[in-house]
Amino acid sequence: MQQRELGRSGLRVSSLGLGCMGLSYGYGPATERNTAIELIRSAVEQGVTFFDTAEAYGPFMNEEVVGAALAPYRGKVVVATKFGFADGDVNAGLDSRPARIRAVAEQALQRLQLERIDLFYQHRVDPAVPIEEVAGTVGDLIREGKVAHFGLSEAGTDTIRRAHAVQAVTALQSEYSLWWREPEREIFPLLAELGIGFVPFSPLGKGFLTGTINASSSFDSSDFRNTVPRFTPQARQANFAIVEAVNVIARRKQASPAQIALAWLLAQRPWIVPIPGTTKLQRLQENLGATRIALDMADLAYIDEALSHIEILGDRYNSDRQKLVNR
């Protein structure tokens, strides 16, 4: 597995990380604990050194599982977690007050079985707390040795610049994939200017870009995709055109659509590190196979041309969730 540096931070991680959210939150019932631990450890054995979790995934359960799984590899892997929701509950509102940030850090260290959090993200920007206060608090935690690097998630350009002026931002985590390319317009130029890495979540379009979801697919009642406009049956039927376009390259490369979608991301910038998630060992191996696929200029040009003729139907979030992004 090749390594990448997140921006100019000096933090080096595997070129693909593992997003652990789906093991306990968002996509239906939680994965059985031992099965989840086995999957995480399999990722390590296959070269993954970058793992993403948060107190809000569960809540709390995800950090505990990640901590247990990675305990034998302490010092050999990079663990990212997040603060920012009241009581760790995504439905309870935002809370990035300094006291809360400190409390989350202390609790995360215990659940993750770590002496220092490698990368500590603000999960969503809290308009009630100036970003300078947030950055300053994380900066204090860094100086105290409890945190190594500061990150933001779904933040807008003004917030990123203001935070970075107080405490260097190592990485921005936001959605980015073949069917959500908004960060390219304003975010990427700023990250390149400031030397900040980019960690795309949902790099496979919440599973849609794998080609295994179509208009007739159904989701568990607790799966948050039931609330996403882009996942209505009508939208899925219309949006399948993007999978068909990717499949042209997939057949040429003898790869899966998921592998092409991830290889495309890796080809965009050298400081991009996607974090696809999965609950299945087979899918983990498939995703990691993307690191062995090289897309040439003709492949990338074909994809760009094909996508330019496809209009994606549906917003990526419902109206309530959309209010939390690009602040």
The pLDDT score that the predictor gives to residue 322 is: 87
The answer to the question of residue 29 being in a domain is yes
Helix (H, G, I), strand (E, B) or coil at 283: helix
How many Cβ atoms from other residues are within 10 Å of residue 285's Cβ?
13
The answer to the question of residue 22 being in a domain is yes
Cα separation, 181 vs 231, whole angstroms = 17
pLDDT per position as a tens digit, 55-75: 999 999 999 999 999 999 999
pLDDT per position as a tens digit, 211-224: 999 999 999 999 99
Q: What is the pTM of this model?
A: 0.97
The answer to the question of residue 273 being in a domain is yes
Cα separation, 77 vs 155, whole angstroms = 26
The pLDDT score that the predictor gives to residue 105 is: 98
CATH number of the domain within which 54 lies: 3.20.20.100
Distance in Å from the first CA to the final CA of the chain = 35
What's 8's DSSP letter?
Answer: T
The answer to the question of residue 308 being in a domain is yes
Name the band, by pLDDT with cuts 50, 70 and 90, for residue 194. very high
How many structural domains is the chain composed of?
A: 1
The answer to the question of residue 200 being in a domain is yes
Whether residue 144 contacts residue 109, with contact meaning beta carbons closer than 8 Å, is answered with no
Helix (H, G, I), strand (E, B) or coil at 220: coil
The pLDDT score that the predictor gives to residue 251 is: 97
Name the band, by pLDDT with cuts 50, 70 and 90, for residue 321. confident
Name the band, by pLDDT with cuts 50, 70 and 90, for residue 326. confident
Q: Which residues are marked as active site? A: 57
pLDDT per position as a tens digit, 154-182: 999 999 999 999 999 999 999 999 999 99
Q: What is the chain's Cα-based Rg?
A: 19
The answer to the question of residue 327 being in a domain is no
Cα separation, 35 vs 279, whole angstroms = 8
**Section 286-307 average pLDDT:** 97
**Section 12-29 average pLDDT:** 97
Edge-first strand listing for the sheet containing 50-52: 18-19, 50-52, 78-83, 117-122, 147-153, 169-175, 197-201
The overall longest dimension of the chain from CA atoms, in Å, is 54
The answer to the question of residue 49 being in a domain is yes
Name the residue range of residue 71's domain: 3-322
The answer to the question of residue 302 being in a domain is yes
Cα separation, 94 vs 241, whole angstroms = 37
The pLDDT score that the predictor gives to residue 235 is: 97
Residue of 138, 133, 271 lying closest to 197 (CA atoms): 271
Percentage of the chain surpassing pLDDT 90?
97
The pLDDT score that the predictor gives to residue 162 is: 98
pLDDT per position as a tens digit, 85-112: 999 999 999 999 999 999 999 999 999 9
